[in-house]
A and B are shown apart, each in its own frame.
Chain A
Amino acid sequence: MPQITLKDVAKRYGDVEAVHGVNLEIEQGEFVVLLGPSGCGKTTTLRMVAGLEDVSDGELKIGDIVVNDVAPKDRGVAMVFQNYALYPHMTVRQNMEFALRPLKLSSEQRDRRVNETSAILEISDLMHRKPAQLSGGQRQRVAMGRAMVRTPSVFLFDEPLSNLDAKLRTQMRKEISRLHKRLKSTVLYVTHDQIEAMTLADKIVIMRDGYVEQIGSPEEIYATPKSVFVATFVGNPSMNVFKGLVRKGRILADGFELPIPSHLSDTVGEEQEIVIGFRPSDIIPYQSDGSNFHKARIEFIEFLGGQTQLNLRLGSHGCVAEVPAAQGLVSGSDFFFNINSDALHFFDVTSGRSLH
């Protein structure tokens, strides 16, 4: 039985529908990430699960109980807020105890839980400080401690790392992953950062404009995006997309052409417009034995250490390629390349859905 079930869950503000009929099942112990750009409805969805927003339509279940009208305090969920939301007038210990207070534990039990949690999070020596005396990373830990100390069945994270600097974010990301493996709890995590999503998630839910675009493992999302949006949103640098026209067994695009892959020949018709996508890393610089190469002009080169990012002009479009460093390339020169034909993606031009 899934731990959390969303069935056609929708959220309306007046006449505006912010989240449209989301269907999602989260299994016990699963780490699910809601990923999408700002305003895609991911936080609203999370807040509905938390009980901080009413569910306008549909059914929301935690375990086998419909919780549409259950108050947040009775849902057995804990949440880590984007801005931490620590109680500023309480010490770290009091912050954590405050979360235990409604459970009416004995003082020994309470102390034991607070001490255990603080030890796991390595905040034991901060227990007497107030939030104002903590650094951003420490506040983040305390916020997680306050959520963990209740040992809830479900953890909700609302962009918990977005206020940290890059280095600390990486560190805390690993920490969260480690904690999840250790506690084996169910997690619903909202982020707009695809690296967080890819590294943490068992399952990613990509949202856009209040709709779920695709649900799948990080590998599935990356390897077989179901729409142009998912294809371009996930991956950095993002996937190159070109419009192409099917004609006489070939696909003609602006600046290059390709043979139609065999698996696609039945789904596309003559003179049909389609969208072709390929990742920057699937551009293979021309080797002397290559037969069928394409030509582009190098506009500028960004050296990234192990990799070099080429910003190309292919026909009248910009295109990004990622190639191993030290290729002896210069801006303004021509660049000959192949595209890994196994890594090509094809989408319908109107719906944006994958043609595979």
Chain B
Amino acid sequence: MIKPSSQKTFFVYLCLVIVLIVFMTPIYIIVSSSIKPSPIMFQKPPAFVFSPTWDHYVALFSERPFLKFITNSLIVALGSTAFSLTFGSLAAYALSRIRHKRMNDVAFWILSMRMFPPIAVVVPYYIIFKAAGLLDTPIALIIIYSTANIPLTVWLMKGFFDEVPRSLEEAAALDGHGLLGIFWRVTLPLAAPGLAVSAVFCFIFSWNEFIFALMLTGSQAQTATVAVMSFWSSDAVQWGRIMAGSFVILIPGVIFVLTCQRWLVRGLTLGAIK
């Protein structure tokens, strides 16, 4: 006889297991395929037991300068994240604090930047960056990703700034601090969870982006996502290398999210007022 409480627990775990299966199956396929010898890659039924091989990983880094592509990806993703957080949070602070009847329009206008389908603006961007001499540079990608990341940051951070009581800033002003000091030492630390969430979203978006990176970079600024796809040619699809590349690409994202996670705490402003 199952007690109601353990029945509930059972269903919670059942749901968790289902969700995990859905999410982890692709990861399992990536990991297992990346260490499977090529001949048994498409064996039916799939081989669950096999002697693993590191050939794909070795090929990944020896046939192509994959480390350079990873570095490019890191530069672009971290650059865009830093740029978006800096300007996005400053803009969000202004939107949160300045009282004006057109402020909602400004906020919406910023959000509307995200409504472009990327494919629609690829060609204009190509022409612009060609003219500016920025094709195949990380700067081009940082700029483009920031146009998508800043609106997201602005909207996320505005919500967090709205939650920081104004009286704290007034208290800091009376304690003798200027506007920037107040923002840096009082408001921003209290909106740290918002910064962490924004950073995660900005990083993951920039890290995973494919279309712009494919169209606007060549040999120099190519990112890891594009590089992986270069193993897919008209002659052959080198699944082992693609899977190995995919697994390597997963790692920095996971590390970044885990790093940001410790800032994702609720109730930072607890005890401020009342």
**Which residues of chain A come closer than 8 Å to B268, judged between CB atoms?**
88-89
**Which residues of chain A come closer than 8 Å to B189, judged between CB atoms?**
89
Q: How far is the CB of B16 from chain A (nearest CB, A)?
A: 32
Cross-chain contact B174 with A133 (CB below 8 angstroms): no
Give Cα A136–Cα B273 distance, bound, in whole angstroms: 10
Tally of A-B residue pairs with Cβ under 8 A?
93
**Which residues of chain B come closer than 8 Å to A85, judged between CB atoms?**
165, 167-168, 170-171, 272-273
Cross-chain contact B272 with A86 (CB below 8 angstroms): yes
Closest 3 CB pairs of A and B: A132-B271, A102-B176, A83-B273
Cross-chain contact A88 with B173 (CB below 8 angstroms): no
Can you list 28 A-B pairs with a CB-CB distance of less than 8 A? A52-B174, A71-B173, A73-B173, A73-B174, A77-B174, A78-B174, A79-B174, A81-B167, A81-B170, A81-B273, A83-B167, A85-B170, A85-B171, A85-B272, A85-B273, A86-B271, A87-B186, A88-B190, A88-B271, A89-B189, A89-B190, A99-B175, A102-B181, A132-B270, A136-B274, A146-B171, A146-B175, A150-B176
The chain B residue with its CB closest to the CB of A76 is B176
Cross-chain contact B185 with A98 (CB below 8 angstroms): yes
Cross-chain contact B176 with A99 (CB below 8 angstroms): yes
Cross-chain contact A163 with B271 (CB below 8 angstroms): no
Q: Does A139 belong to the interface (CB within 8 Å)?
A: yes
Cross-chain contact A52 with B173 (CB below 8 angstroms): yes
* Residues A131 and B177 in contact in the complex (CB < 8 Å), given A81-B167, A83-B165, A87-B186: no
The chain B residue with its CB closest to the CB of A50 is B174
Contact of B170 among A52, A98, A130 (CB under 8 A): A52
**Which residues of chain B come closer than 8 Å to A157, judged between CB atoms?**
none
Complex interface bits, A73-111 against B, C-beta within 8 A gives 1, otherwise 0 = 100011101111111110000000011011100000000
B residues adjacent to A (C-beta < 8 A): 165, 167-168, 170-178, 181, 185-186, 189-190, 267-274
The chain A residue with its CB closest to the CB of B270 is A132
Give Cα A291–Cα B102 distance, bound, in whole angstroms: 74
Q: How far is the CB of A113 from chain B (nearest CB, A)?
A: 13
Cross-chain contact B178 with A73 (CB below 8 angstroms): yes
Cross-chain contact A131 with B271 (CB below 8 angstroms): yes
Residue picked from A73, A79, A83, A156, most chain B C-beta under 10 Å: A73
A residues adjacent to B (C-beta < 8 A): 50-52, 71-73, 77-79, 81-89, 98-99, 101-103, 130-134, 136, 139, 146, 150, 156, 163
The chain A residue with its CB closest to the CB of B179 is A71
**Which residues of chain A come closer than 8 Å to B274, judged between CB atoms?**
83-84, 136, 163
**Which residues of chain B come closer than 8 Å to A72, judged between CB atoms?**
170, 173-174
Cross-chain contact A88 with B269 (CB below 8 angstroms): yes
The chain B residue with its CB closest to the CB of A86 is B272
Q: How far is the CB of B158 from chain A (nearest CB, A)?
A: 20
Give Cα A45–Cα B178 distance, bound, in whole angstroms: 22
Known: A50-B170, A102-B175. 8 other contacts (CB 8 A): A50-B174, A73-B174, A84-B273, A86-B272, A87-B272, A89-B189, A89-B268, A130-B271
Give Cα A130–Cα B189 distance, bound, in whole angstroms: 15
**Which residues of chain A come closer than 8 Å to B176, judged between CB atoms?**
73, 99, 101-103, 150
Residue picked from B173, B176, B189, B274, most chain A C-beta under 10 Å: B176
Q: How far is the CB of A71 from chain B (nearest CB, A)?
A: 7
Contact of B270 among A71, A88, A98, A101 (CB under 8 A): A88
Give Cα A139–Cα B173 distance, bound, in whole angstroms: 19
**Which residues of chain B come closer than 8 Å to A78, judged between CB atoms?**
174-175
**Which residues of chain A come closer than 8 Å to B270, judged between CB atoms?**
88, 132
Give Cα A108–Cα B177 distance, bound, in whole angstroms: 21
Residue picked from A52, A83, A89, A132, most chain B C-beta under 10 Å: A89
Cross-chain contact A150 with B271 (CB below 8 angstroms): no
Give Cα A299–Cα B47 distance, bound, in whole angstroms: 95
The chain B residue with its CB closest to the CB of A102 is B176
The chain B residue with its CB closest to the CB of A139 is B271
Cross-chain contact A98 with B272 (CB below 8 angstroms): no
Give Cα A330–Cα B167 distance, bound, in whole angstroms: 52
The chain B residue with its CB closest to the CB of A79 is B174
The chain B residue with its CB closest to the CB of A134 is B271
**Which residues of chain A come closer than 8 Å to B172, judged between CB atoms?**
87, 98
Give Cα A35–Cα B271 distance, bound, in whole angstroms: 28
Q: How far is the CB of A213 from chain B (nearest CB, A)?
A: 28
Q: How far is the CB of A146 from chain B (nearest CB, A)?
A: 7
Give Cα A234–Cα B205 distance, bound, in whole angstroms: 64
Contact of B272 among A73, A101, A131, A150 (CB under 8 A): A131
Give Cα A139–Cα B273 distance, bound, in whole angstroms: 9
Give Cα A89–Cα B272 distance, bound, in whole angstroms: 9
Give Cα A163–Cα B273 distance, bound, in whole angstroms: 10
Give Cα A89–Cα B273 distance, bound, in whole angstroms: 12
Q: How far is the CB of B180 from chain A (nearest CB, A)?
A: 12
**Which residues of chain A come closer than 8 Å to B181, judged between CB atoms?**
102
**Which residues of chain B come closer than 8 Å to A71, judged between CB atoms?**
173, 178
**Which residues of chain B come closer than 8 Å to A84, judged between CB atoms?**
272-274
**Which residues of chain B come closer than 8 Å to A134, judged between CB atoms?**
271
